[in-house]
Amino acid sequence: MEFSDTYKHSGHCVFSPDARFLAVAVDYRLVIRDVASLKVMQLYSCLDKISYVEWAPDSEYVLCGLFKKAMVQAWSVSQPEWTCKIDDGSVGISHARWSPDSRHILTTADFQLRLTVWSLVSTACVHVPWPKHASRAVSFTKDGMYAAIATRRDCKDYINLLSCRGWEAMGTFGADTVDLADLEWSPTDSNIAVWDSPLEYKVLVYSPDGRCLFRYSAYDNALGLKTVAWSPCGQFLGCGSYDQVVRALNHLTFKPVAEFSHPFAVKGPSNAVVFKEIEEAWNADMQPMFMNGTSVPGDMTRMRGSPNDTRTRVRYTVAEVPISVPSQKPLPDKPNPKQGIGLMAWSADSHYIFTRNDNMPTALWIWDVARLELAALLIHKDPIRAAAWDPMFPRVAICTGTPHLYMWTPSGAACVNIPLTHFAVSDLKWNPDGSSLVLKDREAFCCTFVPMLSELEVDDVDGNDEAS
């Protein structure tokens, strides 16, 4: 693996959907870099500090949310002289997003007074009053034809359907929720999943004409859902809850086909491989081992220091079961208890799903949905800050706020020591083509260029320890 130099950022580092560019917010400046060389391609100056950055789906435009100034600015990558400014006056702007056609911007006013659709072509606008949330509860079909927007009036939740061609209303129907948390179109565009706030476990599935097709509740009188996500294939709806269980609902009956619990101890017999991070001292003249036990090629590993220089490295070791999973007890007198499934995501092929139980913050659980069993458990020394699937292959990248990058594939796992001074990875994002990762420290970022799985297949748990 190769790492770039570090560059400054002030919050947002976003890859373009076509995987060619990286947009970086640096205070009031927006820097557009080429992904391959990280060369600056465009530099834009905004009217205030950038709060939010989002690429248009066609990668031609990029918007900057200047929410402290109640303003949005948009820029063109191919036409640097083109610019657009949106100012919604006294109602303010708390969030902004692109429409699927890349020619409209949707903004949400402060206090959810209204959602406005702004046209970059005709400068016309359409208003939707009383959106339920600022940044949530707005979903588009995969073909970009329709939008579902949750609104609330007279103490009741509603779902508004709009056509994305002319932005005319297609219909409105009430949602049987106490306090709607979010909604999402299914990947097949056939129905809409709606779920309630954590105070009540309730999942509802509606057809586009407003009929409630299914409803599901796992239990009552306790904190309910924490994370919900469709599988990319559309056959499963994953529901992670405060009872520390993930339930995969079938798309035909919307009943659980699998329930994945997170016990405090993993016992045998089990087909799962448990990887545990350990720290050990090593000598600089030792040739580290990579993946399948062979030496790392010279262009992928850089040895530093004298032969007598001893330092520490981290690596995964395979732990035997039974093994206890480090956990912490949530404080009963604090709101938003650190318990339950706070992190959950499906692999691109829908074969795997990873989860983090928030009262076991150092452990990442990877489940094999086809076999309905635990495939791997990765236990780290520090709490997991972020984890993300490779958009192309079943490969997970993990960071824990340390100078290390962790990766897992169905064939094994590896730890990578990042050769950058005072650089601790607190967040990461994949390039849409899976060729690189952006790693973020508090004030700096770098890119790492990852070998494709077709070029480098993981076969063992001994990961490379340093990379250039």
Q: How far apart are CA 358 and CA 251, in angstroms?
A: 27
Name the band, by pLDDT with cuts 50, 70 and 90, for residue 363. very high
Q: How far apart are CA 103 and CA 300, in angstroms?
A: 43
Q: Which pLDDT tens digit goes with each residue over 103-156?
A: 999 999 999 999 999 999 988 899 999 999 999 999 999 999 999 999 999 999
Count the neighbouring beta carbons within 10 Å of the beta carbon of residue 59.
18
181 Cβ contact partners less than 8 Å away, ≥ 6 residues apart = 136, 137, 195, 196, 197, 198, 225
Confidence at residue 453, expressed as pLDDT on a 0 to 100 scale: 63
**Most confidently modeled range among 203-212, 275-284, 302-311:** 203-212
Confidence at residue 334, expressed as pLDDT on a 0 to 100 scale: 80
Q: Which two tokens stand for residue 201?
A: 């476990």
Mean pLDDT of 47-62: 97
pLDDT at 288 over 70: no
Name the band, by pLDDT with cuts 50, 70 and 90, for residue 272. very high
pLDDT at 280 over 50: yes
Confidence at residue 295, expressed as pLDDT on a 0 to 100 scale: 32
Confidence at residue 461, expressed as pLDDT on a 0 to 100 scale: 40
- For residue 114, the one-letter residue type is R
Mean pLDDT of 203-216: 97
Residue 330 DSSP symbol: P
Domains of the chain by residue range: 1-91
pLDDT at 236 over 50: yes
| Closest C-alpha to 441, from 6, 54, 28 | 6
Name the band, by pLDDT with cuts 50, 70 and 90, for residue 20. very high
Q: Which pLDDT tens digit goes with each residue over 319-340?
A: 999 999 999 988 877 888 899 9
DSSP H or E run through 408:
strand 404-409
Q: How far apart are CA 115 and CA 339, in angstroms?
A: 33
Who has greater pLDDT, 350 or 331?
Answer: 350
Q: Which pLDDT tens digit goes with each residue over 64-85?
A: 999 999 999 999 999 989 999 9
Judged by DSSP in three states, 177 sits in: coil
Confidence at residue 457, expressed as pLDDT on a 0 to 100 scale: 46
Mean pLDDT of 390-407: 96
Residue 291 DSSP symbol: B
Confidence at residue 85, expressed as pLDDT on a 0 to 100 scale: 96
Confidence at residue 298, expressed as pLDDT on a 0 to 100 scale: 30
Mean pLDDT of 150-167: 96
Mean pLDDT of 179-185: 98
Query: 391-424: b or e for each residue (b if 16 or more CB lie within 10 Å)?
Result: bbbbbbbbbbbbbbbbbbbbebbbbbbbebeebb
Count the neighbouring beta carbons within 10 Å of the beta carbon of residue 443.
11
Q: Compute φ and ψ for 392, nearest 5 degrees.
A: -110, -35
Mean pLDDT of 297-326: 64
253 Cβ contact partners less than 8 Å away, ≥ 6 residues apart = 214
pLDDT at 455 over 50: no
Share of the chain above pLDDT 70, in %: 90
Share of the chain above pLDDT 90, in %: 83
Please check whether residue 389 is in contact with residue 345, taking contact to mean a CB–CB distance below 8 angstroms: yes
Mean pLDDT of 191-203: 96
Q: How far apart are CA 179 and CA 138, in angstroms?
A: 15
The phi-psi region of residue 378 (left if phi > 0; otherwise alpha if psi is between -120 and 50; otherwise beta) is beta
Q: For the domain with range 1-91, which CATH number is right: 1.10.132.20, 2.60.40.10, 2.60.120.590, 2.40.10.480?
A: 2.40.10.480
Judged by DSSP in three states, 204 sits in: strand
Confidence at residue 282, expressed as pLDDT on a 0 to 100 scale: 65
